[in-house]
Amino acid sequence: MESEYLKYIQEIDSTELYNLMTQYGDDVWRYAYALTNNYEQANDIAQEVFIKVHLHMSTFRGQSSFKTWLFSITRNLAVNEMRSGYIRRVLLFGQVKPTVTVLSAESTYMANQAVEDIRAIIMGLSRKLREILLLHLEHDLTIQEMAQLLEISEGTVKSRLSRARKQVEKRWRESE
Amino acid sequence: MMDKEKPHWTALVKAGAARQGVFTEEMRQAVLTRIDQDRKKRFNHSLIYVAIPLLGLLLCLFLLPHLSSEQAAGLSLRTTSQVDRPITLHYEPANNLAVIPESDKAIRSAALQLVPVSSVHMNNAVTIHNLIKYVDYTKLGDDTTSYFGFALASQLNSVNPQLYEIGYGKMSDVQVQGSEAFGLSNLRADGQCGPERRCVYWLSIDQDKVTAYYQMDASTIYEPDLDGDGVTEAVVLTHAQDMYIYKNIDGEIQSVNVQTALKAEYGDIVTYDPEHREFQLTNGKDTKRYQYEAGADRLRQVHEEVQQDGQ
C-alpha cells in the first residue's frame, strides 16, 4: 500500500526511481531469475524493467498492485528474452543446452547448503511450476494476483501450485 | 518423518530469498546512467525538432518579401498547435470463417505438424541466413499438390530428418529474420505467395510446439512496441495500401485498420514513420501526425501542419 501514490504519478525523477529500485529491485531480479534460470539474463532483465518503469510510469493506474505491474513488465521482457535465446541456441548448437552455472551463481547469495538444495530442486521444476511456486513463497502474491499476472484462471493457479508443491516435496524427500 | 530431520522446505525458500540483496548498487547506478543518456538523446532530438521549423520560418521570412503579390496570395504555410482528441482504437478479433476470403486481413494461427522428409519429394530448398531452410515439395504418391514449409538445421541433420509443414502452395523470394512480435514469435518469414501478394508467417518455436501466425497480404511490415508494454505489435501495410496494427490481446492477435481509425477519406494518404513511431494522415494541404499513447489503445495527435490558400 506504500506505493499507492504511484498511480497518480506521470513521471518519476532519478531519486524516486532509485528508491523504487531499492524497494523492489531484489523482487524483480528474483522473479526474472525464476523465469530464466540464468543469472546474466536476470541481471539484464531487472535493469531493463526499471528503465521501462521510468519511461512508462504514467501508464500505471493502480489496476493491480505496483509489484504485480512490475512483475508483468518483468514477465514480458523475460519471455521475449527466452524466446530469442532459445532460437539462438537451437540454430547455433542444434539443441538446447542446459545452463550449468546455476548453482555456482546461486551460491553467491545462498550460503546455507539446505537452502541451496531446496533452491536447486525448485529451479529444476518446469518453468510454469517454479514460477508459480516462487511467486507464492518468495513474493507472497495472492492466488488472484498470480492469476492476473499470468493471465490464467485462479483454478489453474491452484492446480499448478499444488503440483509444484508435490513435486518439490517428493524430490526433497528423495534427496536425503 | 523427514520433516523432523530437515527444516520445512517452504521456510528455507523464504529464508533464502530474504538472505541477501541481488539487485546491486552497481545495477541501480547502471540504470540511472542509461536513463540519463537517453534523456540527453531525447533532448538533442527535441532541439532538432525546434531548430528545423525555426530555420524554415526564418527562411520564409527572408523569402516572402521577394515573392510577387500573386505568389504570396497563393501560398501561406501555417503550423498549428491545435490538436484533435485522442482516437480510441477498436481492435477486433479475426472472424471465425470456414474459408478465408480475399479481403480478410486477420492474423490467424496454426500449430504446425512435422512431416518426415522421407515422405516427400523436395522441389525447392533454400537456406536463409543459416536460420532456417525453406522447402516446397510434393508428397510421395498420386498427390501432385505443392506444399511448403521449413526446417531448422538441427531437424534436417537428425537421424530421421523432418520438416514443419505450413500448408499447400509455395513461396518465392523468401526473407527470414528474427522477430519478437506479439511476445510470441521467434522468426518472421515473408515472401511472394501469389502474383501480387506477399504473405508473412511469424513462427513461434517452442521445444515441443511450433505455431505459425500468418497474414496473407503484407507488403511492408514493422514491429514496434507501440504501447510501451514490452511486447511488440506489428504495423502492416498491405498491397492494397491498407494499414493495420496487430496486437496481442489476451493471447489473441487482433487488428485495427488505421485508415478507418483516422477517418481517412478517399484520396487521403496514411503513412507510418518507424523512426518516430508516428502515423501520418495527409489530405493534400493538411498533415496530421499521431503517436500511440503509452499504455492505452489510443492515437494522440502530436502535430498538425496546414498549407492553405491565403488571401
User: What residue of B is the nearest CA neighbor of A83?
Assistant: B186
Q: Smallest CA–CA separation between B70 and chain A, in Å?
A: 49
Whether residues A56 and A139 fall in one domain? no
CB of B82 closer than 8 Å to CB of B302: no
* CATH number of the CATH domain containing A131: 1.10.10.10
* In a shared domain, residues A7 and A85: yes
- Environment class of residue A112 by beta-carbon count within 10 Å: exposed (0-12), middle (13-18) or buried (19+)? middle
Shared domain for A124 and A42, answered yes or no, is no
Q: Are A32 and A81 within one domain? A: yes
Within this chain, do residues A93 and A105 fall inside the same structural domain, yes or no? no
Of A51, A56, A138, nearest to B31 by CB-CB distance is: A51
Final residue of a structural domain among A99, A122, A154 = A99
Among the listed residues B156, B127, B253, B178, the one whose alpha carbon sits nearest the alpha carbon of residue A86 = B178
- CATH number for position A75: 1.10.1740.10
Where do the structural domains in chain B lie, given as residue ranges? 10-66, 91-259
pLDDT band at B7; cut points 50, 70, 90 = low
- Domain containing residue A107: 100-176
ipTM metric: 0.74
Q: Which of A46, A75, A99 is the last residue of a domain?
A: A99
Q: Name the strand (E) or helix (H) holding B307.
A: strand B298-308
For chain B, how many residues are written?
311
Any A CB within 8 A of B7 CB: yes
Are A123 and A170 members of one domain? Answer: yes
A84 & A153 share domain: no
Residues A136 and A74 occupy one common structural domain: no
Shared domain for A90 and A19, answered yes or no, is yes
Name the domain boundary from A84, A99, A114.
A99
Q: Note the pLDDT tens digit of each residue in A60-117.
A: 767 778 888 899 899 888 887 776 655 444 444 433 333 333 444 444 444 457 777 8
Average pLDDT in chain A? 78
Residues from chain A that touch B16, judged by Cβ atoms under 8 A, are 110, 112, 115-116, 118-119
Report how many domains make up chain A.
Answer: 2
pLDDT tier at B280, thresholds 50, 70, 90: very high
**Cα dihedral B163, B169, B172, B175 sign:** negative
Statement: residue B71 has pLDDT above 50: no
What is the rounded distance in angstroms from the CA atom of residue A1 to the CA atom of residue B13? 25
CB nearest to B14's CB, from A112, A114, A138: A138
Residues A104, A83, single domain; the answer is: no
**pLDDT(B69) > 80:** no
Please say whether the beta carbons of B93 and B110 come within 8 A.
Answer: no
Q: How many CA atoms lie within 13 A of B238 on its CB side?
A: 18
pLDDT at B129: 72
**Is residue A80 located within the same domain as residue A104?**
no
For residues B213 and B108, what is the distance between their CA atoms, to the nearest angstrom? 5
